[in-house]
Amino acid sequence: MISVDYEVTSEKALAGDLSLILRTADGQDATVSIGKLERRKGTIGLKVADAPWRRGPFARPGPGPGPGAKAAAGSLPQNFEMYLVRNENRYGKELARSFKVSNSIIMGETKFDKTMPRDWTTEEVTIFSKPPIEPPTPNANKGVGQDTALAGTTSQFSQRYVDPKLPLIGVDVKVGFWPVAGGREDCLSNLVPIYDQNYPDSGMTRVLAKPGYAVGAVAVKTNHFVNAIQITFMKLKEDNSGLDTKDSYVSEWLGPEKAGMKETKLGGDGRKVIGVVLNKGAILDGMALVMDSKR
């Protein structure tokens, strides 16, 4: 195990998600996701994971995923350069960046010069000095709104996104797959609620309401997982009291929609949709809508 002591000297530089980079003596980079540092000082511990499926960058080749499969044994390198980078993906795919934000530590020997940080451009300073448009914090508005029935199945990982002030106007979705008996099932692996027309484009498949409309209902097709969704957009009433169910249009199916899948309709009663409930790990197991308590 390797223990890395750190101390934060600039919160602004560390505002994004962080990763620890280990550049080995042969020039190969291994990335360890850290996320956000919650404390100004602390210790980061690194070790080779030995749980099933968690191979990591330093595990030796072994059997593929399957029932009873275990990660192969491995070891951390003896010679490497280590440093922190800020991964900034919250401003859209065109502005995705990684910045070195720490000094380098050399363990053992390395054949390469130290990785040097670069100065930010004027554009980067201007853009990244402003907070990005972000979705609501998951599970932060408990008790706000009313959840619909669940389409799909439950999961030990549940995230409830609610904005009590804004209606849902669209989503970003991503398609993935998961092993099932006899093969694999294509399904949705991620869904991001959107409340602002200017929400940055991260490269996922996006559908947004026309101006003056908002999400009113969602049809969900499921098999083992959530496979596809179709959104019904409804016109916002001028008095902001709800949605006009008689003035609506539907999106195309988002995801691998096929005949024979179970279809569940969520929402559609004229109340504004103010959030979503996502049961997901690596893929989307189930979902519900959060409806405004008032019509």
For 3, counting Cβ atoms within 10 Å of its Cβ (0-12 exposed, 13-18 middle, 19+ buried), the class is exposed
May I ask the CATH architecture of the domain 146-291? Aligned Prism (2.100)
Judge whether 216 and 245 are in contact, CB under 8 Å: yes
Alpha helices, H only, 208-248: none
Torsion angles phi and psi, residue 73, rounded to 5: -70, 155
Buried b (16+ CB within 10 A) or exposed e, 38-74: eeeeeebebebeeeeeebbebbeeeeeeeeeeebeeb
**Pairing status of strand 284-291 against strand 273-280:** antiparallel
Say what the pLDDT of residue 52 is. 47
What angle is formed at CA 275 by the lines to CA 270 and CA 280, rounded to 5 degrees? Answer: 130
Residue 188 bridge partners (DSSP) = 175
Say what the pLDDT of residue 87 is. 86
User: Rounded to 5, what percent of the chain is helix, strand, coil?
Assistant: 5, 45, 50
The full set of domain ranges for the chain reads 2-128, 146-291
Residue 153: CB partners within 8 Å, gap ≥ 6?
Answer: 222, 224, 225, 279, 285, 286
Alpha-carbon separation of residue 99 from 64, 114, 130 (angstroms): 34, 15, 17
Residue 38: CB partners within 8 Å, gap ≥ 6?
Answer: none
Instruction: Please tell me what DSSP assigns to residue 271.
Output: P
Between CA 51 and CA 63 the distance in angstroms is 13
Say what the pLDDT of residue 26 is. 75
Alpha helices, H only, the chain: 122-128
Judge whether 78 and 108 are in contact, CB under 8 Å: yes
Name the stretches of the chain with pLDDT < 50.
51-55, 61, 64-72
Between CA 231 and CA 171 the distance in angstroms is 9
**Ramachandran bin of 92, using left for φ above 0, alpha for ψ from -120 to 50, beta for the remaining angles:** left
Between CA 7 and CA 32 the distance in angstroms is 18
**Pairing status of strand 213-222 against strand 170-180:** unpaired
Say what the pLDDT of residue 59 is. 53
Torsion sign, CA atoms 112, 22, 63, 285: negative
Neighbours of 281 (CB within 10 A): 11
Torsion angles phi and psi, residue 93, rounded to 5: -65, -30
- Radius of gyration for the alpha carbons in the chain, expressed in angstroms and rounded: 23
Say what the pLDDT of residue 10 is. 81
**Dihedral of the CA atoms 204, 209, 211, 215 (nearest 10)?**
-130
Residue 194 bridge partners (DSSP) = 170
Q: Which two tokens stand for residue 91?
A: 């401003």
